[in-house]
C-alpha cells in the first residue's frame, strides 16, 4: 500500500467521490487508489452526509484552551497595559514574560 502525505488525502477523498459517482464499487476504488476499504467507506459516508464540504481538508484542531473566558479577558487587559507597566524593559511581550507569575 502506498504512503501518502497529509496534503494528498483531500485529492484522494475527491477521487473516491468521483469514482463512486461513476458507479464504482468501494472495493475497486480502494484497490485503484491503494487505500483500505474502511478508509473508502468512511470517506464516502462523509461525502453522502455533507457533500464536498465533508471531504475537504481541514486544519486539525489544536488543544483546547485551558483558560476560562474570564481569565482570557483579564490576560488581554493586562497585555494591553504593555510590558513596561509590568516591570519589563521594552515593549515586547515574550512567552516567558507572559508566563511569569505576577
Q: For 62-89, what is the mean pLDDT?
A: 92
Q: Distance between CA atoms of 62 and 84, rounded to whole angstroms?
A: 31
Tell me: the pLDDT tens digits for 45-55?
Answer: 999 999 998 88
| Higher per-residue pLDDT: 27 or 56 | 27
**DSSP-based helix, strand, coil % in the chain, nearest 5:** 60, 0, 40
Lowest pLDDT segment from 30-34, 41-45, 88-92, 98-102: 98-102
Tell me: the pLDDT tens digits for 1-38?
Answer: 567 777 788 899 999 999 999 999 999 999 999 899 99
CB atoms near residue 11 (< 10 Å): 12
pTM of the model as a whole = 0.56
Amino acid at each position: 500500500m502506498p504512503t501518502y502525505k497529509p496534503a494528498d488525502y483531500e485529492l484522494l477523498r475527491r477521487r473516491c467521490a468521483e469514482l463512486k459517482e461513476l458507479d464504482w464499487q468501494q472495493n475497486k476504488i480502494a484497490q485503484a487508489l491503494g487505500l483500505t476499504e474502511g478508509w473508502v467507506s468512511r470517506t464516502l459516508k462523509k461525502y453522502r452526509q455533507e457533500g464536498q464540504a465533508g471531504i475537504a481538508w481541514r486544519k486539525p484542531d489544536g488543544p483546547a484552551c485551558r483558560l476560562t473566558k474570564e481569565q482570557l479577558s483579564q490576560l488581554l487587559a493586562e497585555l494591553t497595559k504593555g510590558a513596561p507597566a509590568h516591570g519589563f524593559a521594552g515593549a515586547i511581550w515574550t512567552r516567558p514574560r507572559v508566563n511569569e507569575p505576577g
